[in-house]
């Protein structure tokens, strides 16, 4: 095969193209799900608060609610007039008295401070009657240990914006304002298949020449982390008719078709002619390492999707073909596919800003392409580099915490500043 002399496409240009396609394939449907089941989903509507959180001033300590002006000196003794556990609303506090109070209970009107029980001495009631008294071994400041009404969320505020991916803490926040259900974007439906006659599944014996299909696991899990419904079509043999058949099935009812392998342009690579016969495909050479070959296109559907996509592209499933090398497909997913999936769900496509970090390694022979190096945070506030940066070495992606985004041709000397993209920021944002 003749060498491909087309100029390389920058990642930014590729992303601009991909995100325009993703916007045209934005998932139109939304659904209402229980807040219990909304982890990882993308919000389709704002979540407003119709209440203050907390709803009233309350104590953050077990102790005694007092009027600070009643305790001018350490050792002051006050009669205990009432007992207020969490969930009970007390009576107004009379001047010169204290209320026994427990964490989370509303502070009664008239009290303006809580003294933690560690600074108090309970004095038993005479003849066992009443609640006794308390000696306060400190001088309270007005306001101490009181959580103010609305200090977390104010009535009328929007606590979560549309486009937000729902993290565990976001679910808690939604619940704290009383949202039992949330409007979320329909999950993008993604068909996934791997090409390659050398691929075997774990659990099967490995014949000579075979390798296990690791990408199927990595990509499927990445798709799940990105909030997708995965339709896994398994392994497709390196034959044109089989690839066409798989693509036809993949286009029906799916928003995106994601494949891995078979896009390098070799004689055994059938993805390109197969996609071409059912739609259109562009075969990109990205100016990045790893992850140079990437295919982008569309596959016609015979029947329009039900409740599917909107716009002129509606009768096409989006197509992205990833390279087969495990690190290449992983990195390409993070840099190119994850942003597409975010935009399809109404979120932002931009890559994370990353962190300015110190390189605790040398990288004397940079590539002509922009590199994404597998690196790990060390205890000294810098980054270590995985020694083998080959695109076949998946161990690097497990060892690492993220990618150093190194500009084309830039050598790195120990101590230099570099831009670091943590995996946590790239996956499932
Ligand atoms: P290809 O892109 O099909 O030319 O494959 C490039 C390299 O990635 C070859 O060494 C393949 O054996 C390997 N590869 C392809 N698909 C997978 C897969 N699903 N899992 C692991 N390695 C793969
Ligand atoms: Mg192959």
What is the per-residue pLDDT across 258-308, written as a single tens digit (0 to 9) for each?
A: 999 988 777 778 999 999 999 999 999 999 999 999 999 999 998 554 444
Residue 349 domain flag: no
Q: Residues of the chain with pLDDT > 70: what percent?
A: 96
As for how many domains the chain has, the answer is 4
305: domain CATH number? 3.40.980.10
Question: Do 129 and 104 reside in the same domain of the chain?
Answer: yes
152 lies in some domain: no
Ligand 1 is surrounded, with C-beta below 6 A, by 194, 196, 198-199, 211, 213-216, 260-262, 264, 323-326
The 10s digit of each residue's pLDDT in 131-145 is 999 999 999 999 999
Ligand 2 center from residue 139 Cα (angstroms)? 75
DSSP state letter for 395 = H
Per the structure, the complete domain to which residue 390 belongs is given by: 355-428
Which pLDDT band holds residue 313 (cuts at 50, 70, 90)?
Answer: low
Domain-ending residue, one of 278, 309, 344: 344
Quote the mean pLDDT of the chain: 94
* Domain annotation covers residue 402: yes
Counting from 1 in the atom list of ligand 1, the atom nearest the Cα of 263 is 2
Q: Do residues 118 and 198 share a domain?
A: no
Q: Percent helix, strand, coil in the chain (nearest 5)?
A: 25, 30, 45
Is 67 in the same domain as 199?
Answer: no
| Per-residue CA distances from 255 to 24, 250, 333 (Å) | 11, 9, 16
Which ligand 1 atom minimizes the distance to the CA of 198? 12
The verdict on 44 and 62 lying in the same domain is no
Verify that 282 and 361 share a domain, yes or no: no
The CATH number of the domain holding residue 62 is 2.170.190.11
Q: State which of 324, 331, 333 you would mutate to test the pocket of ligand 1, scoring each by most atoms of that ligand within 8 A of its C-beta.
A: 324
Residue of 218, 325, 333 best suited for mutating to test ligand 1, as the one with most atoms within 8 Å of CB = 325
Bond into 54 cis (ω within 30) = yes
19 and 91 fall within a common domain = no
Write out pLDDT tens, residues 162-212.
989 999 999 999 999 999 999 999 999 999 999 999 999 999 999 999 999
Helix (H, G, I), strand (E, B) or coil at 112: coil
**Are 192 and 340 within one domain?**
yes
pLDDT of residue 273: 94
198 and 172 fall within a common domain: no
Residues 225 and 337 in one domain: yes
Whether residue 328 sits in one domain with residue 249: yes
Do residues 138 and 265 share a domain? no
Judge if 256 and 338 occupy the same domain. yes
């Amino acid at each position: 095969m003749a060498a491909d002399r087309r100029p390389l496409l920058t990642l930014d240009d590729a992303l601009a193209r991909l995100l325009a396609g993703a916007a045209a394939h934005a998932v139109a449907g939304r659904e209402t799900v229980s807040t219990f089941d909304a982890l990882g989903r993308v919000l389709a509507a704002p979540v407003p608060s119709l209440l203050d959180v907390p709803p009233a001033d309350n104590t953050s300590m077990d102790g005694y609610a007092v009027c600070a002006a009643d305790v001018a000196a350490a050792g002051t003794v006050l009669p205990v007039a009432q007992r207020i556990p969490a969930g009970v609303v007390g009576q107004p506090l009379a001047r010169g008295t204290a209320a026994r109070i427990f964490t989370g209970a509303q502070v009664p009107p008239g009290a303006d401070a809580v003294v933690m029980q560690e600074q108090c001495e309970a004095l038993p009631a005479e003849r066992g009657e009443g609640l006794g008294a308390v000696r306060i071994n400190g001088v309270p400041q007005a306001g101490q240990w009181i959580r103010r009404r609305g200090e977390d969320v104010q009535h009328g505020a929007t606590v979560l914006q549309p486009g937000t991916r729902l993290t565990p803490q976001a679910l808690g926040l939604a619940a704290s304002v009383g949202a039992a259900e949330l409007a979320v974007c329909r999950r993008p439906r993604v068909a996934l298949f791997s090409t390659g006659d050398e691929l075997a599944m774990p659990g099967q014996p490995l014949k000579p020449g075979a390798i296990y299909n690791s990408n199927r696991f990595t990509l499927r899990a990445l798709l799940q982390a990105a909030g997708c419904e995965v339709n896994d079509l398994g392994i497709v043999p390196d034959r044109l008719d089989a690839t066409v058949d798989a693509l036809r099935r993949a286009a029906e009812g799916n928003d995106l078709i994601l494949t891995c392998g078979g896009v390098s342009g070799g004689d055994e690579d059938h993805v390109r002619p197969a996609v071409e016969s059912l739609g259109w495909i562009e075969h990109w050479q990205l100016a990045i390492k790893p992850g140079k070959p990437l295919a982008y296109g569309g596959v016609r559907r015979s029947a329009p999707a039900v409740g599917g996509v909107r716009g002129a592209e509606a009768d096409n499933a989006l197509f992205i073909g990833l390279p087969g090398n495990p690190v290449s497909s992983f990195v390409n997913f993070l840099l190119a596919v994850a942003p597409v999936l975010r935009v399809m769900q109404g979120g932002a496509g931009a890559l994370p800003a990353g962190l300015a970090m110190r390189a605790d390694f040398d990288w004397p022979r940079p590539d002509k392409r922009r590199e994404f190096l597998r690196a790990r945070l060390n205890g000294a506030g810098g980054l270590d580099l995985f020694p083998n940066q080959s695109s076949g070495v998946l161990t690097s992606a497990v060892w690492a915490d993220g990618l150093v985004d190194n500009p084309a041709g830039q050598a790195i000397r120990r101590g230099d500043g570099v831009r670091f993209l943590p995996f946590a920021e790239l996956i499932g944002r």
